[in-house]
Structure formats: C-alpha cells, structure tokens
Amino acid sequence: MFSGEPIFDDARLRPIADKVRAGERLSHEDGLALYRTSDLLAVGWMANLVRERLHGDRTYFNVNRHINPTDVCVASCKLCAFGKHKKDPTAYTWSLDEVWHRAGIGWTESITEFHIVGGLHPELTLDWYCEMLRGLKERFPQVHLKAFTMVEIAYLARRDKRSIADTLVKLRDAGMDSMPGGGAEIFSERVRRIICDHKIDGGEWIDVARQAHQLGIKSNCTMLYGHVETEEDRVDHLLRLRTLQEETGGFQTYIPLAFHPDNTALSHIDRTTGFSDLKNIAVARLLLDNIEHIKAYWVMMTPRIAQIALRFGADDIDGTVVEEKIYHDAGATTSQSLRRGELLRLITEAGRQPFERDTLYRPVERNESTFTILV
C-alpha cells in the first residue's frame, strides 16, 4: 500500500487530504473542490488510498449477460437512444419464449448473473414480467436475476394500480434477486426537465430504492454525467445517495455513467473525456464513504480507461456483459462483450488481484466448466 505524501499542485486539496487520511467524512464544499480542481493525480491518489484501505488490491468482476426484453418506451427521454415508440418499425419486443431462448444463447455454466432492464412498455403487465422471471429461474436456477430499475418499478406499479411495495414483493417472489442502479440520471429537477422530463423525479427514485432496501432487496446506484449538469448537481446527487445509504445500507455499488450523445436528442453535446471519467470515479470513491464498491463500467468508459480507473478509486470492473444495447444505440464503440480472460488481463496488468464475484460479492470458485458460490 502506498502511504507516502504526493506533491499536490493544488494546495486547496491539502485539508481534504488530511480528512481522507483521518477517515473523516467529506462535505459538500469538499466535493465541489474535488470536482473543480484540475489536479487529477492528487484526487486519484486520495481515492486510491481509500480504495486500498477498503479492498487492498482486490478487484471484482463477474460473468454476466445483459438481457433487454424490449426497447419500446412510453417516455421519450432526450438522453436516451435506446427507447422507441411502439409504432416505430425498428422497435422490438421479445415474446417470453424469445427472452428465455436468448438468455440461453452462448450459454455457459459460468454465467452467474442476468442483468435485465428494458423500456417502459405500455402493454407488458406485471404478470408478464413475473412470468418472465419464473421462466428464467426454472431454466437457469443458479443464475442471479438483477432486474428492473427504480423507474421500471414505479411504472409497473402505476400501470398495475399497485403500491410500490406490493410490486416489489410480487417481482421478488417471482425471482428478482436484486436491482441494478440505472435510471437515476441526475436528481436535479432543472436538469431532469431537460434530459428526462417524462421520468419519475429524483425523490421518487430515492423512495423506490428505499422501499426495495427495506424489503431486503439490494440494489446498485448510478449517476449520469457529462450533459447539462453542473458540479453542484453532481455533488448534490452523490450526497443524496450517501444519505439514503446511511438510512438503509442497501446500495452495493455505485456506477458513474458517462453520457453518450450519439443518436439522442442531445447529440450536439460533446462526449466526456478520459479526464472527466477518471475524475468521476475518484470523487465518488471519496464522497461515498458508506458505499462499499465503485464500479468502472468498461462498456461505458472503454476497457482502456476502466483499467486505469482501477488505480483511481474503482474496485470493480463489471462483467462479461455479452450483449449490450443501451450504450451501443447511443454510439458506444466498445465491443459488446469481454471474455473472462480479457477481464483478468486488464486487472492483473494494472497490478491488481482479480476476484470473481457473484452479484452479492460472494466469491465464485471455478472448477473447470462448473462453479460454486462460497457462502
């Protein structure tokens, strides 16, 4: 572990470094200072200190497959290139049989997680989704189903005239094991009116997450950055996540998501840079002192930047993914999947120790083509 003192270009970071070394919680003003400085190496050094304090060299990854059953969506969010109107000739909705069939394409015993999200389809009922989950569990009993964003839950509850809690319980009973972190975007109402004005507001997103956590359902959380948000909006978003985590402890991982503008109504916005991608990882590690894991999602930030992020605060690099649509519709040029061996190479080359996990961060022990989860 590196404990030496780096040379800070920005002296304003010194009091923050003192707090980080002492394990003290950072404030809103500290968050702003971290976002505003161009001394990325100093911010990365501090984030790496925290990362190594929590996880040493351990770097988590998993073997997963994304499943997006439909891109039909009643919300036409400006930020999104994935959702389509149901009359759009290019829109798709898989039948239940297609979902189950596609889940098994290229199937290997080593897959431990299906990551399932889709558009807000006006006709797919809660019962349909429950049937989908039951069918997946029947066919792939050992696979963890990480399914549905807070936004999808709120929509399904409204559509089915049920409470959020009832909706969550029905889905959990049908096989939903945990929830991904998408759809949070950024909580600022000013920004949401511009990028996703048809979506639930930030307060509702937090409320669905709270209710899921209270039912014992773990989730992840995200923030979409690199569009029209300010530094204050980012810090405010992170601190609202930190406050909920203080209350429920239900977030496993935070994933900063860089906005991809291609094919969206905001295509005039420039893509994020490697500098800001690394900054967002590092600041999150420093502000979110009560969320255990920070994920560098390679699909979004490219395997190259994700690898460097492993020394800027990230301890997780996500998984094999297999078939990704949301970012690729928005112009991502990364591949659709990485093999397990490629993930191992990225991690070890960065001087880190690969640790294959299941969705709940339990170790996965491999025995040739089979695997067991060590509890």
Name the site residues for ligand V47 (rule: CB under 6 A). Answer: 79-82, 149, 180-183, 185, 220, 222, 224, 255, 257, 259-260, 264, 297, 318, 326, 330
**3-state SS, residue 306:** helix
Nearest to ligand V47 of 260, 285 (CB atom): 260
Nearest to ligand V47 of 154, 326 (CB atom): 326
Burial (0-12, 13-18, 19+ Cβ within 10 Å), 275: exposed
Q: CB 224 → ligand V47: shortest distance, Å?
A: 5
Q: CB 19 → ligand V47: shortest distance, Å?
A: 29
The beta strands (E) that lie in the chain are given as 58-62, 64-67, 113-116, 144-147, 219-225, 251-258, 293-294, 316-319, 353-356, 364-367, 370-373
Amino acid found at 142 = Q
Amino acid found at 37 = T
Contacts of 203 (CB under 8 A, 6+ apart): 187
Q: CB 58 → ligand V47: shortest distance, Å?
A: 18
Contacts of 113 (CB under 8 A, 6+ apart): 62, 63, 64, 65, 143, 144, 145, 146, 319, 358, 359
Q: CB 180 → ligand V47: shortest distance, Å?
A: 3
Q: Which residues pair with 355 in a beta bridge?
A: 60
Nearest to ligand V47 of 26, 227 (CB atom): 227
Closest CA to 274 of 237, 305, 299, 230: 305
Burial (0-12, 13-18, 19+ Cβ within 10 Å), 95: exposed
Q: For the chain, what is the total number of helices (H) and then of strands (E)?
A: 14, 11
Report the distance separating Cα 153 and Cα 215, nearest Å. 14
Q: CB 8 → ligand V47: shortest distance, Å?
A: 32
Q: CB 83 → ligand V47: shortest distance, Å?
A: 8
Nearest to ligand V47 of 200, 224 (CB atom): 224
Residue nearest ligand V47 by beta-carbon distance: 182
Nearest to ligand V47 of 183, 202 (CB atom): 183
Report the distance separating Cα 321 and Cα 84, nearest Å. 22
Nearest to ligand V47 of 187, 259 (CB atom): 259
Q: CB 120 → ligand V47: shortest distance, Å?
A: 11
Nearest to ligand V47 of 35, 259 (CB atom): 259
Contacts of 335 (CB under 8 A, 6+ apart): none
Nearest to ligand V47 of 31, 181 (CB atom): 181
Q: CB 94 → ligand V47: shortest distance, Å?
A: 18
Nearest to ligand V47 of 80, 130 (CB atom): 80
Q: CB 260 → ligand V47: shortest distance, Å?
A: 4
**Longest CA–CA separation in the chain, Å:** 60
